[in-house]
Amino acid sequence: QVHLVESGGGSVQAGGSLRLSCAFSGSPSSDYLMGWFRQAPGKEREGVATIRTASDSPVYGDSAKGRFTISLDHAKKTVYLQMNNLKTEDTAMYYCAAGKSDSDVLNVLGYAYWGQGTQVTVSS
Spatial CA neighbour of 46 closest among 113, 123, 124, 104: 104
* Alpha-carbon span 57 to 98, nearest angstrom: 15
Strand partners, 36: 49, 96
> At residue 29, what is the residue type?
S
User: How many Cβ atoms sit within 10 Å of the Cβ of residue 51?
Assistant: 22
pLDDT at 16 (0 to 100): 98
pLDDT tens by residue, the chain, 124 residues: 899 999 999 999 999 999 999 999 986 556 889 999 999 999 999 999 999 999 999 999 999 999 999 999 999 999 999 999 999 999 999 999 999 887 889 999 999 999 999 999 999 9
Strand partners, 19: 82
Helices and strands: H and E segment counts in the chain: 0, 11
